[in-house]
Structure 1
Amino acid sequence: MGKERSAGFLIFRRSNSQVEYLLLKASEMGMHWGPPKGHVEPGEDDITTAARETREEAGYSIDDLYIHKEPYKMHYKVRENDKTVVYFLAELLDAKKDPQLSHEHTAFRWVAKDDAIQLTNFVHFTKMVNHFNEKIDNL
């Protein structure tokens, strides 16, 4: 059994005083919805990976975001491998700036918390978005 580690940003924006989360539809692997994330490469820390993956997958640079540096970690098994995914909350500074998708994704949506949970349909994501949503309420 191996170990995998990935990192990403849960990106949100404030639109008409409503919080919306960015979800990307994967072009492969069941075409699931999720935030930008990817494997940590040798020599990278989690925030560097999250920034690289967000730039590659959504076209947002670190300058487009305000990063909240408190991580949320989830652990689960994928094909008998232990997987750790680390997310950071990131606010899009220009709420009108749409992402520029890479070949890894076919669509994006800005959705409210409950819609994000329904689209992803993944228990670990639900816990993470609920955790971060409470943080946003206190910002």
Structure 2
Amino acid sequence: MSRRSNQQKFSSEKYRDKHRNFGLKYERSCGAIVFREINEELRVLLVQHSASHWSFPKGHVEKGESDYETAIREVREETGIDIEITSDFSRASTYSPYPGARKTVVFFIGDYLGGSLRPQLEEVQRVAWLKPEDSMKYLVFDRDREIFNDALQEIGYEVNAD
């Protein structure tokens, strides 16, 4: 059973409707910071989108889909594994990927349920389970690092500064 209780589902359709008339193209994506233990050590799942860009699995919200459903689907599509959203944690990053566009990405914490890593080669070059300390070295964007730090605090993990 999920630790999440009475969790409000976000509606990307309401988000799009609210922002539709401002002349900008609005995009919304959702993803998850996925944790698991391997040999009694915490690991986090990262995906490599390009030669220099590692991040967390994420993707666009499809019509009629909740943000949670999007995050779970995108993790499965990009990595081949199944997850569960297990807390009320959510953090958003909003930026302009190109002129005339505004993109919001919402991240949740996901727990690994099963499956083998299998990158979706059309979108992802590689996937890897990394130690949290090593993951920080691969995350390119400051906001990704901030959100990751928040997630680590949420689960009570202290990063060793070795």
Sort the TM-score into its range (normalised by shorter chain).
0.7 to 0.9
SS in 2 for 1:75: strand
1-structure distance, mates of 2:130, 2:39 = 13
Following TM superposition, where does structure 1 have runs of at least 4 consecutive aligned residues deviating by more than 3 angstroms? none
2:104 is the counterpart of 1:84 = yes
- Pick from 44, 54, 66: which aligns with 1:21? 44
- Structure 1: tracts of 5 or more residues without a match: none
Larger Rg: 2
- Structure 2: tracts of 5 or more residues without a match: 1-23, 158-162
1-structure distance, mates of 2:124, 2:31 = 15
2:117 is the counterpart of 1:99 = yes
Query: Could you say what the CA RMSD is over the residues aligned between the two structures, in angstroms?
Result: 2.0
What's 1:124 paired with?
143
Task: Map 1:1-80 to 2 at 5 A.
Answer: 1-26=24-49, 32-62=53-83, 65=84, 67-80=86-99
SS in 1 for 2:155: helix
- Pick from 130, 133, 138: which aligns with 2:152? 133
Is the Cα–Cα contact under 8 Å of residues 86 and 109 in structure 2 kept in the other structure? yes
Give % identity. Answer: 32
| TM-score with structure 1 setting the length | 0.83
Relative contact order, higher structure (CA 8 A, sep 6+): 1
